[in-house]
Structures are given as structure tokens and as C-alpha cells.
Chain A
Amino acid sequence: MPTIYIDDNPYEVKEGKNLLDAVLSLGEDLPYFCWHPDLGSVGACRQCAVIQFQDEEDEQGRLVMACMTPASEGTRISIQHPDASQFRENVIEWLMVNHPHDCPVCDEGGECHLQDMTVMSGHNYRDFRFKKRTHRNQDLGPFINHEMNRCIACYRCVRYYRDYAGGGDLQAFAAHDHVYFGRHEDGVLESEFSGNLVEVCPTGVFTDKTLKRHYTRKWDLQSAPSICNHCGLGCNTIAGERYGTLRRILNRYNSSVNGSFLCDRGRFGYEFVNDDARILTPVMKNVETRQFEEVSEDDAVAKIAELTRDKNSVIGIGSPRASLESNFALRTLVGSNRYSSGMSNAETELVNLSRQILNDGPAHSASLKDVEKSDAVLVLGEDLTNTAPMMALAVRQAVRNQPVEKAKQAGIPEWNDNAVRELIQDEKGPLYLATPTNTKLDDVATKTYNAAPQDLARFGFAVAQFLAEESPKVIGLDEDVKSMAKSAADALKNAKRPLVISGTSLLNKSLIQSAANVAWSLCANGKKAEIALTVPEANSMGMSFLEGQGIESAFERAASDDIKTAIILENDLTRRVDSKAWNQFLKNVENIVVIDHLENETTAAADILLPAGTFADSDGTLINNEGRAQRFFQAFEDDSAVQESWRWLQGVLDLGKDTDVSDWYSLDNVFSAMTKSVDTFKGDIVVAPDAKFRINDQKIPRSPYRYSGRTAMKANVDIHVHKPPQDPDSPLSFSMEGYSGKQPSGLTSFFWSPGWNSVQSTNKYKNEVGGELRGGDPGIRLIEPKRNASPKYFTEVPEPFSPREGEWLSIPLHHIFGSEELSAKSFGLSKRAPEPYVALNPSSAEKLGLQMESRVSVKLDGTEHTLPITLHENLPDGVIGLPVGLPDFNGIPLPNWSKISGATE
């Protein structure tokens, strides 16, 4: 560890850092703009200037940029030196030359890095007395607001958007003090990760447009640490509320999961929480009028207790979008053999298979950070950008690892961002993509292979065969596919951290099995192979731990056994089964009890309907695809009857008296009841600090220290010191009161540090820049590999796909915007969702005599859909694609064989 001297004090720093990184990692302050913990250094803004001395004798020193200077052994610098501090003050003054002086009307105000750095640099009065230059703003679509006059030209936005996230439509234009950051013309920012601009931009140029619709300042928010519930990756978020509405989602740094970024589904998908269709009171259907009528909470619970008295007549259908605790409560109520995961049979099987692979095999279940660190990647089947978005962003970083290693060997430190990019140019490490059609990662792929799902699986099996003789052979593979499999196998074998990615999105078992074979065969070669399997929803993996049956099995049971009542937990079943099956099910059961937060087709069919909390107004635990259990906390509490589903069920259980649930008054107790009684959870598991946790006898606040105080908490209603709601489920207080130091890592409702009001304060919460949060990253892995297990290769290699005459294999195509139920209901996202379509390749279209503007009729399981066509150059012959889960186009069983009857103009 090199020793460096800062203003004559010695400090030990980690090898290979630059001075700015070193200074910040030591917890010291030094202002900066163009540097960013995830983007490295470029030396543009000149804000981080310090004086560097040659040696102890050197009294003069020279001005250097800390971010561009290695913190090598014996480096001597002064931060305090008047030349350095005056220069830094000057830099602010220059930046402010054209910057508007109207923080009070700027959306960034109160959490602005420019404000913070201005104060830190000591610049106060300006001498510039001329006119400012002004810019035109652009309409960048529903997510991002653009106010170019606030730009300080730090170049972070384009470096993030283009270099880091691979976007193409945001650029720096023009030169000198006219540099302009935007699109070539107004229009929606195309990147699926555009929302991070809001946090990357140190000023109010790029701000959250969805927040703008119900704007509030950071210091007026009441927030909670949360977990994104819009895909299976479980990115960590901060959910911020004021006056009973959820105002925004921010990233919550977790170095093992999402690091500093989120996808746009995760960031902008929150507005369903505020939807008019929220269910706020318990209702019961009037037997005669079939209309919902309000009932008291007690009556509703009593009624359900009555219906569930005879357990044998009840089934419970849980949900992969509900918490473990709520699912567990349902399972307890109905009994584990009458409990369903709320996923289709196929999905249930695949998620179970995934857990089994990760749990029993020798390959390590990859976190997102592991994905980012891998240096050779094989993707089998997943269109990651649309099925597990942040994993796509991680893969985009992973392909840099091999070339960056070369740059390091050439003596260029990794943080010297432009120099590294210059040296490696377009060189990419190995990434082999096997997907049904083109994906948004193709541009960084070494090779792509587009084929029908079973052929992709055959490809995967072939890769494994090249790595391990004992894994099953694939007969009759085309030579070019074989040679691609060989080169993929070689690349993985030659890598230090090889990674295989697959998942459930194509609902193809063989694909996942082939991925396991590849990962395991790498392990057999002595590699520490990683495997990442994506799952559909926020708690899909959790469902596998609770071992419920699939929906179809539950429906069968409802048909055969004497089932009178079904309790459906946070699940719109009409999205998961076709309408025939659903209608039959409704006929088979007499009473439908639904607990959910938004009205949908399933809640419409309820006889009793109870209001559940969303992620923002309830607490709970989710398990992500990696097997990491993570807790989300309630951001706010309102006066409605909304509560956690498990609380409703606890009420029912309590009346039923079969199970002693008297201590189920807190989430912790429900969770520990679960880990005790469900075998798949092994012993004591601590996901997050429990509700009794205190620091210096104090709770951890949800609101920042600069909150206006409790008098103003409900200033929209009255000015009065309200007693804050009690929270039995977490150690968080519903106010700014409590411990005023740094919150523990899992309980961070806001990032803030003296002098650091912006998200850049996150650095103060880390062990070091880019490192873990102090006290360790939150969450706990419940799945670890059996490193020494000898691989039990899957042996069923599927037959090659053969197109059928007159029939088409329709496969699911996922959309980051639109395919996920809840986010699709949010204002911004709904504008980005595609219209339903059918995708096929141009030669198929030609064969069918279709024009681009044709509409076709697709017949599937006896249902006919009339759809416009979309041409996908790379879809295989005999295969068509249909979008998954769109708001008005779902519940279609895929994959499936279908018939297309030509143009019906």
C-alpha cells in the first residue's frame, strides 16, 4: 500500500488509484465534476486541482489534476495550498459564467452537485458582468427533462450514455462555450438506461420528468430503502414519498447488485403506486347486485376466516410479485399442499430447475457485480435488455475486461478513461450471444447465433461437449454452428472468469439445462465458472423456496377436489392463463378472495377484495435471481386500510386458531416463523437489521436531516405536530428524527453527508470509491454452489427445430417497457410500450404475401388475434414472435404453435 502525503500528513492508500479517488476514499473532501466513480477520469473540468510537490525539498510545487495523477508511493500534494484553492474557486466562477442563478426554480436544487461544489470551493460573489449565453431545450420523451442552460459541460452525460451504456443518440455538439449536450433533434432518448442521466448529470440539465409532474425537494421527501419489483434482479432503490404520493425512485448503491445505476423500467415504473385504480378499502360483492360494497376490516377478515374454516375446501394462489412473508402467510393459511406459487406450471418448473442448478451444482450463482467482472460471456436464449435489463448493462462492461487488462499491461491505469478507450478502440472480450432474434447487445458480441429455442439449446449442449467429453453429444449440428460452439468453448476455457447466462424468458427447459452443462463443464476444467439465470419477477426465486405448485395444477385441483374458496394473493391470474382456463376456474370455485393493490381483471372477479400495500407502502423480503434475499421497507403510511397482505392473512389465521400467530405482529416474526418452518431456508437468516435495531437508542430516520420538521409533515392538510405512525416492522422512523450519523448499509433512506447533498454523497457511504458499502452490502445470499460437486450433466439434448407446414412456432418476445404488469401502468412507461404485433422474418412475410403494412390474423389455441406485422431480419424460418404481457395483449400461452392466415385487409 503506497503512502501519500496530503498537506504533510501521511496516508496509506490502495495501489493503483488516482489522487482524487484516494482522497475521497480516505473520506476527505475535494471538489470534482468530470470524474465519476463509475466513469473514471478525463481531466476536463479542472475542478480537482491540487498542488503536487516533487519531493520534501520542493516548496514551489505545480498544479495538477488529482483525478489524472496516480497516487503512487511518496506522492506529496497539498489540497489547502492557496494556489490550488484559488484555482478551484476560479473554476467554479468560470462554470457559473453562463449558469443561471436561479436555484430556487431548478429541479436539481437541494441535491445539486454544482451547488455543493460551489460551496465547497468557497466561490461567492461573481465578477462577470456581461450577458449569458443561452440554449434551446429539447423534448427528450416521457422520462427525462432537458434544461441546457444549466450545463457546465462536464461531459459526464455523453460519457455515461455512449461509452458506458452504449447509447448512440446523445451527443456533444458544437464547440467552445457553445457545446451542447442533446440529441441531433428532439425525440425520445433511445437507451433503456437513460434515467441514470438524472443522477450522473451534476446539474439540473437532465432531471426526472416523472418527478416533475409531482415535484418535491429532496429535503421534503420521506423515503425508504427499497427493492425494485419490476424484474427478477432485485436492484436496490430508494422510494421517496410526500403527502401520500410516491414521488420518485432513485438508485440505492449496492456494489454487489446494481452499483450506481438502474434501468428505466425500474426508475420510472413506480407511478402505479399513485394510480386511481388503487384499492384502498375492503369490499365485498353484494350477492344480488354483484356490485362491490365497502365492508369493515373486521367483517372482511371474519368472513374470510369463515370461508377458510374447512381447510380442505380452500386453495391459495400466491404471487412472484408479492413478498416472501405474504406468500408464507397464505401458505400457512391454506397448507403447503394447497398453496400455489402463482406462476404457470412451466414457469414454476423452470424456476425450480434454476434454483436446483444454482444450489446443487458446482457453478457459482453470479451477482450483477460478478457478471460485470467476468471476462468471457455466453448468453443462451435471453434478450437481456428486455428480460433482465441491468444484466445487459453489466455484460456491456464485462466485454471490456480483457482489452482493459491489455491497457493496464501497457501501463495505462484503468481510471484513465479516455486513454484506455483510445488504446483498446473497438476491441471487445468474448461475448457469444445465442438468441432467437437480434438483441441490443449484438453490437458488442463476438458472434451471434439466431435460431429457434431448441436449436439454441443444442448450441449450448455443443459448447458443453467441447468442454467436457462426458456431457451429452449433439448429433447433426451444422458445421458453422459447431465451429461457433467450438470458439465459444475455447473463449470460455481461456478466460479467468467465464460466465454463462440463460433464463426462463423463452420458457425452454433445455436451454437452462444446456447452460448448466456449460458452466459445470467449465468447473470440471478447473475454472471458477459463474452462472446467471434470469427469472421473470421480483420474487420468482422466492417462490421456488416456498415450493408451491403451478397455477394449472391448482386449477386442476379446483376442478377435481371439493374446493369452494380460492384466495388469490397479489396476482392477476388472467395475465398468466388463457381465458378458457380462467373462466372454467371461476365456475369451479364459489368464493374468490383477492388481496391486491390495483384493480385488474382478477380483482374484478373477487367476492371479497382486500387492499394490499405496494412495495412503497409495505415491507417485505424478496429473493432475486441470484438467490439474494433483500428487504424493502415501507416509505409511507396513510390513513387508508391498506396494509401488507400478510397482515390481512394474520388476522384470518388468528381467528381460525389453527396456527398460533399471536406473535405475527411484526415482519421479523413472520420472517423467522417462515425460516423455521420451511425447510428450504436453512436456519437463522438475517436479511436486514430487525425492528428493534437502534443506534445510540435511536431509530434510523426516513427523512433527511434538513426536513422541515414534524409540524410541516402534513402541511397540505394542517400545521400541527402529528404523532408519527408507529412502525413495528422496521427500525426506521417516519420522520427526520433519529440517529443523525451515517445510516447502516441496509437502512439507507437517503444519501447525505455534510456538504454533500447530491447523490455524490454516496461515496461517503462506501469503504472506498467503487467498493462495498460500509458495513457490507445489504442482503444475504441464500444460494451457494457445491464447489466440489461433480457435475451431473443433463442428458436430454432436444431434437433440431423443424418448421411445420402451415404452422408457426410462436415464441415470446419481451419488452422492457410493457411486458411487466405494474410498471406498464405507469405514466411514462405506458408511452414507451409497443402496440401488439406479430414478428416474422422477411422471407416468411414474402412467402405469405404480406406487405409491411399488412395486418394478419394469428390463431392460437382457438383464439384469433388480428395484428400488424413487424419484420425481424433474424427470426428463424418457421418461427414468429409475439410480445409478452402488454397491457391489452396478455394471457396468451407461449410458446405455442399457431396458424397465420394471410392479409385480411
Chain B
Amino acid sequence: MDRPLTHHIQPDKQPLSLKKYEKQGGYQAVQKALRDFDPVDLQNHVKEAGLKGRGGAGFNTGLKWSFVPMGDDAPRPKYLVANADEMEPGTFKDRLLMESNPHLFLEGIILSAYAIGAEKSYIFLRWAYHLSKKNLEKAIAGAYENNYLGENIQGSGFNLDLHIHISAGRYICGEETALLNALEGKRANPRAKPPFPQTSGLWGKPTIVQNVETLANVPGIVNNGINWYKDISNSEEDGGTKLYGVSGKVKNPGLWELPMGTTSREIIEEHAGGMQDGLKLNGWLPGGASTDFMVEEHLDVPMDYGSVMEIGSRLGTGTMIVLDDQTCPVGMIENLEHFFAQESCGWCTPCRDGLPWTEKILHAIEHGEGKMEDLDQLARHSKWLGPGKTYCALAPGAVEPLQSGLKYFREDFERHINEQRCPWS
């Protein structure tokens, strides 16, 4: 089985030196692209391969690039920004890539920057990722030394600078437009679209923001081609492999590179080793905290963007949070809404003032002070904080576990209220 994202990773997780990485075929994609691809060709290539953004939204990456103004009169500088904020609860996939396979990530940045004609790039890094920072800095220094970064890269005439920016540590900073504001030193409020970052992004210039894992997919596509990329996937629509993760009370929590479209059953039962002894699977959030619960009946749904969407959830980041039968779902949801309410940027009304309300209601229910009307209030919030109502996607994501929790665990909510206590405590 091809594992283009992780095959360079050694058992001790130590990153390869640049030389060793090169020996294993590293930076071939950069050489090849600079030699054989016109930037717009590269955009089309990636578009046709069907690479979709791994940051959660699943938008076709090559298509996104095609909106960047190209040519001599395009505004300059253009920017490529790697979104390495990874603040989504339960998500730790980008971290693995940055800690253990930094050169692959850099290669993805260089290729993508080349494809859109960017001359400056940033890695917007989660504040807590100290090891990532260390390993990236070393890799970047090596890339500069070997002229994979800097001026006239490999004699191609293409220039690229790369800087690491350490985030101040807010969940909203991972939202791509809030990220850009944060990078500019402004309050991390998102921006309205249009205009999209592709035309007016960082400091008002054309910008592409791309998730770490997305970027790491690009070298493989360049090296091995469109058909290969489609072939290594189990999914009808989506190409490539995916880093799937599992956290929660399973036997073997972790992260695996598997063909896109692997089922939850395989991921949870085989790779994560199933539930810990004595516990039963009650449900799971398929791709971070901001996705709708899936439950037992969904175990055989292929984990790709379209299939998960069809059953009313989202693939998100592809890193699951597993809920077992000994953990109170209301408590879990309260915890999540506490997180989201606290991480609301405070810009738009429904999210800023609605989420804390849901948190307070959930707290009351969990602590034996719930009322039946509270469930209507929660449902009302799920509805009015949904997609298109708020300024950015934080709030719609925040109510996904809530609305699906109300659907799948309604009895548990009612028991809390009827018994005026948490049945799990």
C-alpha cells in the first residue's frame, strides 16, 4: 500500500536529514515541477488529481489555486500560507507531518507557491507545537542552504521566502481569513467573502491558505501522476490517502495513513484496536469537535467527503473522537460547547452570545438543573447558528455535535432533566 505522506517517517519519528530525504526521492517533485511544469499546468494537474483540502472544508485545491490572478500584471507579492494552526479538538495529524516529515511539507509549500506564483510564504504554526517549530526551522535552514528556498530556486528563476509565524493560540486563528488578520497583527476576526483571499488576502494581496496535510499531498501527485493518485484511494470521488486518527477510550489511539474512503469500522476496530475492555462504542465525531456525531449504523460508511456528508456529518479533519457508553454524552457536549463559546472571536452576535447560552443550558442540564424547555432552546440555537447565519464557519461547526447529540442522545438529555442529575455521575 502506498503511503506518500508517511513513508519517510522512521519508527523513532525522527525527521530525515535533507540529504537522507533527498536519497529517498525527496525534492524530486520540486525539481520536476520547476523543470517540466508551467505554474498553470501544475494548477490543472492538482485540480484533476482531485486533491481536496484536508483542513476540514474539502474544497478542490487546484480549483482554488486557479482563482489566483496570474501573469505579469497580477498584484504582488503573492502569498502562500500554510495553515498549521491545528487547534481543532481531537486533531493531531498536521503535527505528525511537521515533527517527523518536515521536508515533505516544505516540498508541498514550494510546489504550491510555484503553482500560484507566490514569492512569500508563511507557516502559521500552533503556539504549542514546539517540536514542530524546532524541526521545521532546521528543515527550512537546510532548504535554504540547498537552494530549495531563496532566490532562483534550482536555477529556475523562481524565488520563494518562507517564515514561521507562531500563533497566539486561538481556535479562530485557524479559520483562514482570521488567520490572515492575525498574521497582519490585527484582531483575529474572520473576514467576509467575497473578496476571497485568492484575490485579496494577506495585506490585500493574492493569497492561498492551505492546510499542512493538503500541502503534503502535492509532491506525490507531481511525482506519480493523476492516475496513481486516484488509484491509491478507496473513494469514488476523492483521491489520495488520508491521515485518519482516533482518540477516546479505544485500545490503541493513534494516527494512520490509509486510503481515502476507509470505513470507520476498519479505522476504529482494526487500527485503533476497538474499544477498551468493558466499554461499548456509543458514537464518534468523525473529523474533530466541529462535526456531527456518527453512530453504530454508520460504521461502514466510507470516510470520504461525499459519503460522510450524505449521512449528515462531515469528514472534517478525519480525526475521530470516540464516545464510549460510560461517558456522559451531555457532559461531553457541554465540554465541547464550553470550548467553542470560549473560542468565539466575538465578532458576530449569534456565535458570541448564542454559544455561551448553550453552554450554560448544557451545564444546567448536566448539573441537575435542566428543564424540558431547555431542549427547545438548544434546538433553536442549533438551527439559528447553522451555516449561512453567522459570519464564519465556527458557529455552524460548534452546533454540529450539539444538533446531532440532540438527535442521537435525546433520551440521555431527557433522563438528565427528569432525574435532575447526571445519570453517569
A positions within 8 Å CB-CB of B: 42-47, 49, 62-64, 68, 86-87, 90-91, 94-95, 97-98, 127-128, 130, 152-153, 155, 172, 174-179, 410-412, 416, 418-419, 422-425
Contacts and interface: CB of A to CB of B under 8 A. Distances in A.
Contact of B350 (A91, A128, A175, A416): A91
A128 B172 CA distance: 26
Contacts of A86: 384
A90 B384 contact: yes
16 contacts: A63-B389, A64-B388, A68-B192, A90-B384, A91-B350, A94-B350, A94-B357, A153-B349, A410-B195, A418-B191, A419-B191, A419-B194, A422-B200, A423-B200, A423-B204, A424-B204
B27 to A, nearest CB: 35
Contacts of B342: 176
Contacts of A152: 349
Nearest to A176: B344
B350 A46 contact: yes
A43 B391 contact: yes
Given A177-B341, A422-B200, A45 B349 contact: yes
Given A175-B346, A177-B344, 8 more contacts: A45-B349, A90-B384, A152-B349, A155-B347, A176-B343, A176-B344, A176-B355, A177-B352
B39 to A, nearest CB: 22
Contacts of B343: 175-176
A130 B353 CA distance: 13
Contacts of B195: 410-412, 419, 422-423
A177 B342 CA distance: 8
A97 B356 CA distance: 10
A153 B191 contact: no
B380 interface: yes
Given A46-B390, A130-B360, A425-B203, A176 B352 contact: yes
Contacts of A43: 192, 348, 391
Most buried by B among A87, A97, A424, A425: A97
A751 B394 CA distance: 40
Given A42-B192, A95-B353, A179 B346 contact: yes
A63 B384 CA distance: 10
A177 B338 CA distance: 12
Contacts of B191: 418-419, 422
B347 A94 contact: no
Contacts of B187: 172
Most buried by B among A44, A49, A87, A172: A44
Contacts of B170: 175
B345 A176 contact: yes
A97 B353 CA distance: 7
Contacts of B354: 94
Interface in B99-122: none
Contacts of B348: 43-46
Nearest to B172: A175
A153 B187 CA distance: 14
B346 A422 contact: no
B349 A98 contact: no
A130 B170 CA distance: 26
A641 to B, nearest CB: 56
Given A87-B384, A97-B353, A175 B389 contact: no
What does DSSP make chain B's interface, helix, strand, loop or mixed?
helix
A97 B203 CA distance: 36
**Ranked 5 nearest A-B pairs via Cβ:** A94-B353, A179-B346, A423-B204, A176-B344, A130-B360
Contacts of A174: 346
Contacts of B380: 90
B217 to A, nearest CB: 29
Contact of A95 (B344, B345, B349, B390): B349
Contacts of A63: 388-389
B227 interface: no
A759 B341 CA distance: 33
Nearest to A421: B204
Nearest to A128: B357
Interface string B388-403: 1111000000000000
Nearest to B188: A175
B350 A176 contact: no
Contact of B349 (A94, A411, A419, A422): A94
B66 interface: no
B377 interface: yes
A419 B192 contact: yes
Interface string B184-205: 0001000110110001100110
A91 B345 contact: no
A82 to B, nearest CB: 13
A397 to B, nearest CB: 20
Contacts of A62: 388
Given A44-B348, A95-B353, A127 B373 contact: yes
A44 B360 contact: no
Contact of B346 (A87, A95, A178): A178
Most buried by A among B347, B355, B364, B377: B347
Nearest to A49: B389
A349 B356 CA distance: 66
A47 B341 CA distance: 20
Interface in B352-394: 352-357, 360, 364, 373, 377, 380, 384, 388-391
A78 to B, nearest CB: 15
A156 to B, nearest CB: 13
A155 B352 CA distance: 13
Contact of B391 (A46, A64, A97, A172): A46
A887 to B, nearest CB: 42
B167 to A, nearest CB: 14
B177 to A, nearest CB: 9
Contacts of A419: 191-192, 194-195, 200
B231 to A, nearest CB: 38
Contacts of B172: 175
A340 to B, nearest CB: 56
A526 B245 CA distance: 71
Contact of A176 (B346, B384, B388): B346
Most buried by B among A130, A152, A155, A176: A176
A64 B172 CA distance: 22
Contact of B200 (A68, A90, A178, A412): A412
Contacts of B352: 94, 153, 176-177, 179
Nearest to B200: A423
A87 B383 CA distance: 10
A175 B344 contact: yes
A153 B344 CA distance: 13
Most buried by A among B195, B343, B354: B195
A412 B357 CA distance: 36
A412 B194 CA distance: 8
A34 to B, nearest CB: 9
Most buried by A among B191, B344, B349, B390: B349
Contacts of A411: 194-195
